A and B are shown apart, each in its own frame.
Chain A
Amino acid sequence: MAADSKASANPHPRPLSPHLQVYRPQITSVLSITHRATGVALAVGTLMLTCWLVAAAAGEAAFNSVNSFLGSTLGRLLLLGWSVALFYHLANGIRHLFWDAGLGFELKAAERSGWFVIAFTAVATLLAWSIGLAVAGGN
């Protein structure tokens, strides 16, 4: 556009955004878009939490039907997805808060904290589900 013809005359050439399809995925960029995707998924999950609260307040019949949905294969898959999303968004959100404070910006540090977020998500999900299934089995 008009900016192209003026580019050479511009004393301060600004960097151009790389096109997404030709940009090699890196852990920092992949985790960044995953933070967004998990955030959107969790926003949908707030509706499930609301359903559960409304059902608990409504009474036995409503609560049992929500509970049996959550205990079904589809319900468990959704809960698994939301728990992964929550642990990821929680850990990566803390990583973002450190960045907001100006800490951990070095490439090495950002990559290391990224791998830590992935490891935390895996461990927390496994732990939550092994305890949760044991508790549910006892109920």
Chain B
Amino acid sequence: MAGQDKSLRSSLGRVRGLGSAKDGTSHWWAQRTTAIALVPLAVWFVVGAIAHAGAPLAEVKGWLGHPVTAVLMLALVVAMFQHARLGLQVVVEDYVHCEALKIASVLAINGAALLFGGFAVFSILKLAFGG
């Protein structure tokens, strides 16, 4: 890409390779790995949800209570909240320029993802273990 003489980074910064966020490419990679996981999981969930459209609770419980469904639902929910959290963080970092508001927003996003993810995981386990 750009020649070394065009780079704005110092030699030390370049050799460390961690960038201004100090975590290198880990955020970028986590966004991609969760994206790859969500391709089959999202397709599987959409097919399952359509198959149970408007179904009574007993039927839905039969589906969600199945061990395979429960494990796939757990994988979906964890990957989904992680992917959403990372994506929303980038959106906030791009558009919110007030540093305090930016940090507060990212904290709120992470907290909400953790809490709602917790609710979802708990519900899936409750359904799986015969709640």
Contact = CB atoms under 8 A, between A and B. Distances in A.
A9 interface: no
A54 B42 contact: no
Contacts of A36: 91
A86 interface: yes
A39 B89 CA distance: 12
Contact of B120 (A43, A53, A86): A53
Interface string B17-42: 00000000000000010011011001
Contacts of B73: 53
Contacts of A60: 57
A114 B91 CA distance: 22
Contacts of B77: 49, 53
B14 interface: no
A135 interface: yes
Interface in A33-57: 36, 39-40, 42-43, 46-47, 49-50, 53-54, 56-57
A136 interface: yes
Nearest to A101: B32
| Among A36, A50, A71, residue most surrounded by chain B Cβ atoms (within 10 Å) | A50
Interface class of chain B by DSSP: helix
Interface stretch (A16-24, A90-98, A104-112): A90-98
B126 A64 contact: no
A77 B94 CA distance: 30
B72 to A, nearest CB: 13
A94 B5 CA distance: 35
A132 B123 contact: no
Nearest to A47: B116
A32 interface: no
Interface of B: 5-6, 32, 35-36, 38-39, 42-43, 46, 49-57, 60-61, 64, 73, 77, 80-81, 84, 87-88, 91, 116, 119-120, 122-124, 126-127, 131
Give the top 7 A-B pairs by smallest Cβ distance, nearest first.
Answer: A136-B54, A57-B123, A139-B54, A136-B53, A53-B123, A43-B84, A57-B126
21 contacts: A36-B91, A40-B87, A43-B84, A43-B88, A46-B80, A46-B84, A47-B116, A49-B77, A50-B120, A53-B119, A53-B127, A54-B119, A54-B123, A56-B60, A56-B123, A90-B43, A96-B35, A128-B50, A139-B53, A139-B55, A139-B56
